[in-house]
A and B are shown apart, each in its own frame.
Chain A
């Protein structure tokens, strides 16, 4: 790819980027969110058209106008959100859109797909329904789908984001084997450790521009970090040990159903003290969302109790949680703010009573409140901007401002840094640590183990809606946490239950 430029309106997503891929190599594409990694690869896969620049495949200039063209040239892509049809079998998903003729013979298709899986060394049952597969298995189906279409170039967009550590190891082993057979892989990531572990070469993008391409063997994580963010150090860490405080948030044998009405949370008991960050680690979909929503009053618990400073808030409504001093950062920040309303209106929404006189809005108070919070939380927006025009980081700051300006005694933070770039992530983590310093009880729910290890005082692991273990952060290590997150310790050796 030479001189690729892509604009979205006034935004330049890729600015004269060069990228080359050798046969049989794993080439990592590194950059922060919004650096233009995915855009570049979407151009290669025909999902976007470049405004300028050319693509050359095996010495020939190629015209890639659609994924069909890309597949024809032997390029396959596995996106973050899988394009699989869950009620169909693996085999049906693999051949979907790639069948010849009118008739599809299920038995023959299954045999072909099974044979292909064996040939590529991917452990998949071709007859299984995709809906029954784990995320890691689904990813393998996606990879098989690309290989089945004779892909010689495989683009993986943040493939490890959804995987537990053990699944990552399996994926890496698979990739190494496939590359030994001549497959080339583009590995999009913003995780340095993975890039160091798996890639042969690394290309870093920053703000849509090419920073450089280096051989992985001749670089170090610090250099890559500098290439990615333009500075040497990043990351925040907890300062010092805390002195135990009073338990502020107590959750006793909490149970709740998921959206389908099936029992999701089971018997969750946790207690968080003032000035403490307790993290809930786990693979997505193990009840984290239900836990957070129940603690925000958005979801009704089926069993158990929730106490805040001794006050019973079981089955209370959202505004009762707010009134009791619970600050709730929404998990889906786009669902936490009303996009079509202004920044000022969103900031006032939770405490409308303070901004009205006799039911009539006091617009000046709403605007001056917004101006003050924008300054305090460094939000890059004007009070009258619509919330939907804000970037992810600024939107998260807006939601933090709405919650933290109230000095809550409990902060519920589900996935607070998901999808944010490093700068915004650091900001959010520092804010959480500041809340801990201030003496708030912070419940951090995260899928990012690095984040959890950096911030927490204690770590609880959730698996299938149950807390399978709680341990002080200084005694926890990634290996054990990973095993617990995967449910390995569920029956037998439980990590010592602290407190």
Chain B
């Protein structure tokens, strides 16, 4: 008599993965991303393992470069929080970049205007001014969206270009530095500089502001009634409207807070790092914020973690380029690959592996 040997087979089922399988997803995503990018590193005639050492470990091995990771993460966490706020309410704000510059313009102006104001008050005014400016820049697309149903993705995106021209006009016109003649605004006053958190580093108050913003995101979205309304609107607009939630008011609020936080990112860069407005203030922080919000699943912890990780990658990209002579753009490529791989991996959450 022959009996078929029963062999344990693995089956993939369409059912939510258990937590331990879900925890593997970011690790898998990281591995796949590095597999994908090692081809490029080899092409650049460098050893991928060495490159990854410089990329991910080297920046953390010295105190000063570890702090630099936090410096780089500061604007990213802020824009990530900004975008998450809007996305949570189903408002697709692609305009964090422009709103960041709106905040930066306010900071550059206040930084010169607040002569003789005590530092603590001056800094507070800078932050509020940046928030207000970011809100103002976010106001028109938000109103167009809730009043006329104009697609906010298009309007917020296009306004980024408008803002780039405004900045350029300011810097080449009235605000051109009278001393050097460079297209940069006059340096802001000392009483408006963000204080350093650690002496002889670049780490400044902005990092604390970013962490507070992330905590605020968590508290408002998950613990307040306005947060529940935002989630209801974001996840089921019809049902929210039916339950008596004012969809337009909720969306407008989320859009404005989002713009305000992006504006603070601009203040933080001006008052913490550059001390004047320049055209290259942001290498696309507003857009990277979208990636960070998505990777962080719009959750405060996720956004902070993704922001820190991207801070590490962009610090590491400079280290690796110095050490091995590969282009700095490797950092950008890795960030983009990371996003695509993670999005693809998120699909895996819907499946689980079981013995048949």
Contacts and interface: CB of A to CB of B under 8 A. Distances in A.
Interface of A: 8-10, 296, 298, 317-319, 322, 328, 330, 332, 335-341, 345-346, 348-350, 352-353, 355-356, 359-361, 363
Contacts of B239: 330, 335-338, 346, 349
Given A9-B14, A360-B223, A337 B244 contact: no
A381 to B, nearest CB: 16
A353 B224 CA distance: 11
A292 to B, nearest CB: 11
Interface in B236-269: 236, 238-246
A362 to B, nearest CB: 10
Given A298-B241, A298-B242, A330-B242, A340 B236 contact: yes
Contacts of A340: 231, 235-236
15 contacts: A318-B241, A318-B242, A318-B244, A319-B244, A328-B242, A332-B238, A335-B242, A336-B242, A338-B232, A341-B228, A345-B228, A350-B244, A352-B228, A359-B225, A361-B227
B18 to A, nearest CB: 13
B238 A335 contact: yes
B241 to A, nearest CB: 6
B345 interface: no
Given A9-B14, A340-B236, A341-B232, A356 B225 contact: yes
A349 B235 contact: no
A324 to B, nearest CB: 12
Contacts of A341: 228, 231-232, 235-236
Contacts of A9: 13-15
B238 to A, nearest CB: 4
B226 interface: yes
Nearest to B235: A340
Given A339-B236, A360-B223, A361-B225, A349 B15 contact: no
A360 B224 contact: yes
B224 A349 contact: no
Contact of B225 (A319, A330, A346, A352): A352
Interface centre among B232, B236, B238, B244 (most CB of A within 10 A): B244
Contacts of A338: 231-232, 235-236, 239-240
A369 to B, nearest CB: 14
Interface in B1-56: 13-15
Contacts of A345: 228, 231-232
A153 to B, nearest CB: 30
Given A296-B242, A352-B225, A337 B236 contact: yes
A346 B229 CA distance: 11
A345 B224 CA distance: 12
Which 6 pairs across A and B sit closest by C-beta, in order of nearness? A319-B244, A338-B236, A335-B238, A340-B235, A318-B244, A356-B225
Given A340-B236, A349-B243, 6 more contacts: A298-B241, A318-B241, A330-B242, A348-B228, A349-B228, A349-B239
Task: Give the size range of B's interface with the partner.
Answer: 20 to 34
A340 B297 CA distance: 14
Interface string B215-228: 00000000111111
B84 to A, nearest CB: 15
Nearest to B236: A338
Contacts of B229: 352
B330 to A, nearest CB: 37
B348 to A, nearest CB: 15
Nearest to B239: A338
Given A341-B232, A359-B226, A318 B243 contact: yes
A231 B182 CA distance: 88
A336 B237 CA distance: 9
A223 to B, nearest CB: 38
A337 B240 CA distance: 8
Nearest to B245: A349
Nearest to A332: B238
Interface string B135-178: 00000000000000000000000000000000000000000000
Given A318-B242, A336-B239, A349-B243, A361 B14 contact: no
Contacts of A360: 223-225
A8 B14 CA distance: 8
Nearest to A322: B244
Nearest to A320: B244
A236 B227 CA distance: 42
Contacts of A363: 223
A338 B240 CA distance: 7
Contacts of B238: 332, 335-336
A369 B117 CA distance: 52
A359 B219 CA distance: 11
A8 to B, nearest CB: 7
Given A9-B15, A318-B241, A322-B244, A361 B224 contact: yes
Nearest to B13: A9
A298 B242 CA distance: 6
Contacts of A10: 13, 15
A259 to B, nearest CB: 12
Nearest to A345: B228
B247 to A, nearest CB: 10
B204 to A, nearest CB: 31
A320 to B, nearest CB: 8
A361 B219 CA distance: 10
Given A335-B238, A335-B239, A339-B236, A355 B225 contact: yes
Interface centre among A296, A332, A359 (most CB of B within 10 A): A359
B15 A350 contact: no
Contacts of B240: 338, 349
B246 to A, nearest CB: 8
Contacts of A318: 241-244
B147 to A, nearest CB: 15
Contacts of A319: 244
Given A356-B224, A359-B224, A361-B228, A339 B241 contact: no
